[in-house]
Amino acid sequence: MDSSFQALENGEIDAIIHTFDAPVSDAFHARDLFDEKLVAVVRKDHPCLKKIKKGKLDLDSYLQYGHIMITKTGVGKGYADALLAKQELHRHTALNVRQSALAPLSVILESDLIATIPARTAKYFETLLPIKILAIPLEMPTFKLTMAWGPIAHYSLAHKWLRNIIFDVSSEIEKQS
C-alpha cells in the first residue's frame, strides 16, 4: 500500500488530493473533483518560441530541450514519457522534483528547460510570472484530480464540512474551464 494511503488509514492525514493510476481501494472513500490536462511551460524568451505554430510546440522542439520531471516522489516518469515510449522516443529529464507548483517554474525562468504541468496551474502562474503556455505536441489524455479519505473520517462532521468546501470549490473550478 502506498505510504500516503497508510497515513490516511492511520489517521495521520485527513485526505489525499491527487491523480491516481488505479481506482482507489474500496477500503477508502473517493470522489473525482475535476478533469485537468497538461501543458508545456517555458520562459517568455525561450528559444523554442521561434518555432511555435498555432501555440503548439513541434515534437522536435519538445524533445530538443531538457525537461523538469515533476512527480509525487521526485522520481519516475510522467504521462508524456509513456506516450513518447510508444513512438520509441524519449525526452531528456534534466531535473527531477517532487510535486510543487512554484519550484519548477522558478527554474524555467532561469533556464531553457520545459516544465509539463497542469493547465490551471500554468494559467494562474502566467498572471504572475513571465512564462508562456504551450500545447504539448502529443495526444495527451486529460486526467482526473480525485480526493480520497478514510472510513473513520467519513463519519466526522468536521471532515464532512471540509469535504463539502473542497467539493464546492472544485465544482466552481470545473465550471470555469
Q: What is the CATH number for 162?
A: 3.40.190.10
How many domains does the structure of the chain reveal? 2
- pLDDT given at position 73: 67
- pLDDT given at position 101: 65
2 domain-assigned: no
Ramachandran angles phi, psi of 143, nearest 5°: -135, 160
114 domain-assigned: yes
Q: Identity (one letter) of the amino acid at 72? A: K
Residues 75 and 17 occupy one common structural domain: no
Which residues, 6+ apart, have CB-to-CB distance to 128 below 8 Å? none
Range of the domain at 157: 8-35+143-176
Residue (of 120, 72, 74, 109) closest to 93 by Cα position: 74
pLDDT tens digits, one per residue of 86-134: 888 888 888 888 776 666 788 899 999 999 888 998 999 999 999 999 9
In eight-state DSSP terms, residue 24 is P
Neighbour tally for 38: CB within 10 Å: 22
Residues 49 and 76 occupy one common structural domain: yes
Can you tell me the distance from the alpha carbon of 11 to that of 148, in angstroms, rounded to the nearest whole number?
13
Stated pTM of the model: 0.80
- pLDDT given at position 30: 95
Pairing assessment for the beta strands 114-118 and 67-71 based on DSSP bridges: parallel
- In the block, cell 503556455 appears at 133
- pLDDT given at position 6: 87
- pLDDT given at position 1: 47
1 domain-assigned: no
Can you state the percent helix, strand and coil of the chain, rounding each to 5? Answer: 35, 25, 35
Angstrom distances, CA of residue 153 to CA of 8, 19, 23, 125: 9, 20, 19, 33
Which residues, 6+ apart, have CB-to-CB distance to 105 below 8 Å? 41, 115, 117, 125, 129, 131
Q: pLDDT by residue for the chain (177 residues), tens digit each?
A: 477 888 888 888 999 998 887 888 999 999 999 999 989 999 999 999 988 877 778 889 999 999 988 877 666 677 788 888 888 888 888 888 877 666 678 889 999 999 988 899 899 999 999 999 999 888 888 889 999 999 889 999 999 999 999 999 999 988 886
- pLDDT given at position 4: 83
Residues 171 and 105 occupy one common structural domain: no
Residues 48 and 101 occupy one common structural domain: yes
